[in-house]
């Protein structure tokens, strides 16, 4: 049997306009997916940097508490984590009531790396170095700075209260005075257990 075709019937298939609309929709969807992936990668890198900065800050605070920096003079220490394999990470530690340097303000004023700025910091420290009474605890603040990723924050600040003697060490003169004063009393009090 033969089927008859209509002469006016539309042809099967898509028009050019339908194909263009489909391509635009797929292109927008693909762009949004790629942008989401890029944002996720940047967020993951920032999270990694923050976690690593926290771990390195806790490491440095542990070293301060263990007394590894007792010989270092001053109320402020700077350093990097190149020995641990993180050359891009650096730290600043301050003790007591000192505040961390405001890096953005220092860069704006042009005093971040000048001798005048360092001299003014040293003069401030000298005026504050009056004989301090030994307190039971000392505040230690640390800022770890790492490479900036877009507009994300590129530093982490931690603060910990530590035992005064762990931070600054035991004053040898006081220790000798205490041992000298109590040494005479204990010298003759030991009893021997003879046979």
What are the DSSP calls for 45-71, one per residue?
HHHHHHHHHHHHHHHHHHHHHTTTTTT
Measure the CA–CA gap between 52 and 36, rounded to whole angstroms. 24
Measure the CA–CA gap between 143 and 135, rounded to whole angstroms. 24
| Mean pLDDT along residues 42-48 | 94
Residue from 107, 98, 116 nearest 145 by CA:
107
pLDDT at residue 107 in the model? 46
Residue from 153, 151, 155 nearest 39 by CA:
151
Residue 33 has pLDDT above 90, yes or no: yes
Task: Give the residue, 118 or 56, on which the prediction is more confident.
Answer: 56
Q: Report which secondary-structure segment, H or E, holds 172.
A: helix 172-187
Q: Where are the domains of the chain?
A: 16-180
Task: Give the residue, 1 or 59, on which the prediction is more confident.
Answer: 59
Residue 32 has pLDDT above 90, yes or no: yes
In this prediction, residue 69 has a pLDDT band, given cuts at 50, 70 and 90, of confident
């Amino acid at each position: 049997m033969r089927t008859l075709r209509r002469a006016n019937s539309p042809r099967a298939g898509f028009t050019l306009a339908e194909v263009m609309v489909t391509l635009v929709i797929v292109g927008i969807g693909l762009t949004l997916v790629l942008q989401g992936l890029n944002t996720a990668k940047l967020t993951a890198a920032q999270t990694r940097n923050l976690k690593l900065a926290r771990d390195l800050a806790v490491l440095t605070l542990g070293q301060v508490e263990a007394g590894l920096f007792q010989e270092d003079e001053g109320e402020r220490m700077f350093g990097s984590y190149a020995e641990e394999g993180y050359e891009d990470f650096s730290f600043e530690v301050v003790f007591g009531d000192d505040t961390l340097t405001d890096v953005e303000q220092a860069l704006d004023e042009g005093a971040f790396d000048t001798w005048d700025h360092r001299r003014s910091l040293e003069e401030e420290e000298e005026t504050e170095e009056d004989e301090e009474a030994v307190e039971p605890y000392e505040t230690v603040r640390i800022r770890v700075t790492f490479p900036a990723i877009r507009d994300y924050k590129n530093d982490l600040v931690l603060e910990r209260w530590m035992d005064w003697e762990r931070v600054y060490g035991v004053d040898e003169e006081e220790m000798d005075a205490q041992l000298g004063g109590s040494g005479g009393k204990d010298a003759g009090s030991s009893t021997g257990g003879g046979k």
